[in-house]
Structure 1
Amino acid sequence: MPRRLPSKGFIKYDKIFRIGQRSSSMQKHGRVALVTGAGSGIGASIAIALAREELAVACADLDLEAAEQTAKTILSAGGAAAAFQVDISDDQAVAGLPAVVAGTLGAVDVLVNNAGIGGESPTSSVSIDDVRSVLRINLEGSVAVTLAFLSHLKESASGRILNIASIQGFRGARDSLAYGASKGALVNLTRGLACDLADDGILVNALAPGFVDTPMARLPDGATEYETDWFQSIYVENARIPLRRPADPDEIAQAALFFCSPQNTYVTGQVLAVDGGMTATF
């Protein structure tokens, strides 16, 4: 079942935690990235990878302690970062976030829409509320954050948006109606935004990870799905994933760097599968 979020009004901007302070030279010359869902997994790895490329990183997450930990990791390595608590399904909270981020780190040049939830359930038993919960976060939340930061990105000399979709955005899977629909919508959102924002110099792309070793891959008993007999049989022994293993979150982050960089000047509207070759098989 999808993870339930706190009720509206959960975010209190006067209580948002911030750590790290950019130097005056970085405020004037540096680039700033916002990563949603930066507290763990793919989001944390992308945030840290961007910081290594000398971006100041706003680490946003519903779990404030997790966002703080990612920011502290960046700071301990000499980077610039700040942690922000936000529920991306809360429109009011999202609308207020750009001013808070700008006041702490500066205007955002790179937006990574990573925050999302799973939600496996057979179609015969899934409820419309379950579907709406997943779409509200995975799709609508990403749209809300994008619209909130558009003015920042339009003013940037190298505005970039990277959406974290999934191979389920263009391939079906059992018991994944809501999740697959949300990621499929995110894939086409990427293409539509790329067309709409090209005149503003904003490049929009997406990554579509396959199996990744993240907390979302944990089963109810605490084990990972990669440890199950079915995974080993289908994806490893029979090479359904040609590389015969799940991805590490850092491998997804490495794929993200080019799309977010000023060196990318002509790639937009693309969705890159980072899946160990899974979508190359049949």
Structure 2
Amino acid sequence: MGKASRKKNKPPKVREKFVAQPFEGLAAEPELIALREFVPSATAKLSLVDGDRDVTLATVLPMAAAAFVRTDGEVFLGLQVQTRSSDISRDLGRALRWALDAKPGDVLSVPDTTSPSTEGERLQDLLVADAELDVTMHENFDWWLPEDTEPGSDVKLSLERANEAIMPTERLGPGSYWVLAGEKAHLRWVRPEPENALLQALARLSAAGQLGLGEGSRYAGSFRAHGLLVPVWDLDTEAHAREWEEPAKQLGARLDEALASLEDTPLDAGERRARDGLIGRQLTLR
């Protein structure tokens, strides 16, 4: 067979447009981003459009699997995986469809990231759009296994490594998490608003001296994750995570007021300078 024939029979490459905001349209969008990007060990039940099968969404599964069915029949879908395509929502939707047809003990190591896209396979097609996530935080990954189950050697090693890597994390509110990262504590808050509007609201609070969470806190900057902006505050490590719950709630109320005020009152010169300063304080998570 000549070169021309081999080239002719070669399957075409799948070229997909990159989806910058893969969870857009889901009420749980901020929570999904937080669970995928920086929450170590957490689970939440998913609300499916069709069927009465229980599915548990999880931050990380054994050996970073995309999905598996536990030996007791419980179905798990993993958010933090090693492989991704141009559309994370489609990857997760495909893994979810696989899990719903799988049998106890089956494991999907990686999601399908190479097949051409088809209708009805994204999370937006499979989940109830306005359903929030009721997140359960865990101190370790022991929930990977049914009670009184002895793990195999591979799972045991993966479990030990995962438990050792956990950073203490507590949920303060929707998309809002206290994280103890080494010698620093942070509030990382995935906000649902469009980036430009959120930056203007943050700038309005900054210019008014209302951007902090009180003594022992400092606005550190922000980073982008899957189309949304995630503001970050440095916090006093001596204070317990729960001590920041009420200040965060009050800050959220101030942000809502600032966002509403933008409809009638544009930023003044001082607030525009504050916005420029905030734009320059982009962070990189490591």
What TM-score results when the alignment is normalised by the length of structure 2? 0.29
Which protein is richer in strand relative to its size?
Answer: 2
What TM-score results when the alignment is normalised by the length of structure 1? 0.29
Larger radius of gyration: 2
Which protein is richer in helix relative to its size?
Answer: 1
